Structures are given as structure tokens and as C-alpha cells.
Amino acid sequence: MSMLPPPQVGDRPVPESFPPPPLATAAVPLSVWQRPVRRTRLVLVAAVVCAVWTSGLLGVYVGAEIERQKTPEAFRNSTESVVLGKPRSGAFEQRLDVAAVTATLRPSIVSVSTDVSDAGQVGEGVGTGIVLTSDGQILTNAHVVAGATQVRVRLAGEGNPRSAKVLATDPGHDLALLAVDATGLIPATLADPDNVRVGDEVLAIGYALDLDGEASVTLGIVSALGRTIRIDAGALDGMIQTDAAISSGNSGGPLVNAAGEVVGVNTAVARSDASNTATSIGFSISMAQAIPEIAVLRSQASGTRRNEGYIGIGLAERSDGGKGAVVASVIAGLPADKAGIVELDVIVAIDGRQIDGGAGVIAAVRGHQPGDQISVVVERGRVEQTYLVDVIERPADVG
């Protein structure tokens, strides 16, 4: 039976197999062809006529002067609390009012544009951001601002973008915090992490394809919960799957419920390839993952060093259709080896949570801090065994 290819954040298919690097915590890296869902345009650097060149220099000079005169406080790390929705006990009684929810959220959604350069080419990227605080703190995907030489944010109701600063970024969780010099913004309300159910109607709102005008709105449902997908920096856990259309440029924008609360940050879509068809399969980072990550990013912006967990194994996917991840390699002397895990063990659970594949191991291990201890359940010869494994800091040279 044909299986859906691994979800991806780009326009090119990801291969079915992922050969494990010997030193990786989870050896299932993404294909080099995988790219994030942000709208990007690359143009060759070319000579321009003198008049345009001169006016361009003048614009650069004026912009530089404005930036030079800004005080560092203009791009501050906010101390305001994010706005959280109230828990609910049951399903929504009425269907989602698209017009009303859209009107509620529009003031809290921004366009994020970037300048990038790569191998002699200059490029532009476009994504979406969510206003977190009234004093200018904005949440978006890390891949939206990756490699950016300049970041700009256009607020709702404004025609011109404002300069923005990247306060902190975490590629492993694909989230980033931005700051703009602004006050009086309207923060979005973040849903209680438990306030999302399969079948809930949701809207995806964002600057799809960098089309002119306001953000695009698409309607769908929550198709599944707790998905794990691969990204360039590892894996994302606890994802919301939705059939609301998500396109390039939607990255970093909100997935919204009938109460006008943000239940997820739109991040990725599944793409078809030559042998498989993916239709309306998008993924959003859940608030269960995003809300604690906002606190971590704020700490990082204040100077706290971020560490990722590591136990010293390489992984391979099962080829027999079963769940779990095969231990392809174990580094001698590191925690997994000391605990007793061996090659060809199949990891089926970590800290009581079922592991469906290698991406789940990546997310579970990297999400822990050095000094933590995790419970790892493995199958060895059809017999389950549990090991307590200490977590150490992930080495910088491990991919």
C-alpha cells in the first residue's frame, strides 16, 4: 500500500529514507531539498541605471540614519504577559463565524518580510507574525527569519513596514520572537492548550503567496492532534494537523478557533510526490508547545544560554510498518550506552509517550535539558525493557 511521504516545509519532496549520521541524537535528517513554507523570491544582482542607483543610495542613507538614532530600548524584550484564553469543558455550541473571527484577529496579525543573500544572489522572504504584547513583541516561525540580513514588519492598517529586530530564535522548535518599536498594539489571545479537539472548526490566517492586500483566510477543521514532523533542525512534536489551506507565506500565522483564540502557529504542509498524493494536510505548532517556548525565547533574549538534550544514539526508521524507531548506532561512553541501550533496540516510548518514528525521539530528547533523566522503553526480541537515561548537552558539532 502506498504511504504518504513524510510531511515537509517546502516545495520539493523529501525522500522516504533518512540515513543516520553516526553522532546525531536522532539520525533521520531532512533532505537538502526541503525548504520552509515562506514566500521567497530570488533575483540576480544586476547593474542599474544611474538615477535609480543614486536614489537607492539616498534611501539606504536615510534608513541607516533612522536606525542609528533609534535607542536600544526601541526593540525591547517585553515583560508583558501573553493573553491566555479560558479553559472550556466541551465542544463549541455554534459553528465558527468566519467574518467575526477574522475581524477579531486581523489587528493582531502582521506581515513579516526579510532580505536575504545567498551565493551572490539577493532575495526577499515573506511570512506572517502574531502580536503577543501591546509593546511590540511578535511571534513567528524561526524559518521565516532564518538567514535574514534585515527584517521588517507591517502592522495591520499600516501601508509601510517598520524595522524589526530578531530577539531570539529556536530552529529546533521553529519559533522566533521579534520586536518592533510600537505601542498600543492588540495582542492575540492564545488558547488554553487543552482547548483543541479533533473536528473543531479553525481558520488559517496569513499572507499567503505575498498577495496584495490583507491576509488570506481559509477554513478547515482540526484533522488530528499530536503529530510529529521532521524539519531541518530536527523534529516538531505535538503538532496539530489541519485541512485548512496553508500556503507559502502563511508560515508564522495563526490557526484560530471559533472563539477567536490562537490554537496553533501555521508551519508546514505535506507535499505530493511521484507516487503519493497529499491533499489538504497542514501542520501547526500547538499552544502546548508554543506557550512554554515563548518563555524560553524571552529568557534567551535576556541572555540565558539555550541547551538541547542529547543521549548519544543514531536512529533509523522501521521498514516493517511497525511503530517505533530503530537504534542504528550507540556511542560508547555516552548516556544511552551507559544505561544499557544497544544497537537494533526499537524505541517505542519515552517518558510514557508512544514513539511512532524517529522524529518522535528527536523531539523528545532535544526538548529536555542537560541534567534531566528520561525513561526510555525499548523492544528487544519482542520483549519490552525500560531504561533510565541521563540527558547531556548536545555537542555543537552534532548535526
Name the residues annotated as catalytic.
143, 174, 251
CB-count exposure of residue 113 (10 Å: 0-12, 13-18, 19+)? buried
Instruction: List, as one string, the DSSP characters of 158-217.
Output: -SS-EEEEEEEEETTTTEEEEEES--S--PPEEPPTT---TT-EEEEEE-GGG-SSSPEE
Judge whether 276 and 240 are in contact, CB under 8 Å. Answer: no
Q: Which residues pair with 44 in a beta bridge?
A: 121
Q: Which residues pair with 115 in a beta bridge?
A: 124, 150
Cα pseudo-dihedral 169, 171, 174, 178, rounded to 10: 10
Judge whether 356 and 365 are in contact, CB under 8 Å. Answer: no
How far is Cα 141 from Cα 178, in angstroms, rounded to an integer? 10
Helices (H), the chain: 50-69, 98-105, 142-145, 287-301, 335-339, 358-366
Q: Rg for the chain (alpha carbons), in Å?
A: 22
- How far, CA to CA in Å, does 115 sit from each of 64, 139, 160? 15, 18, 16
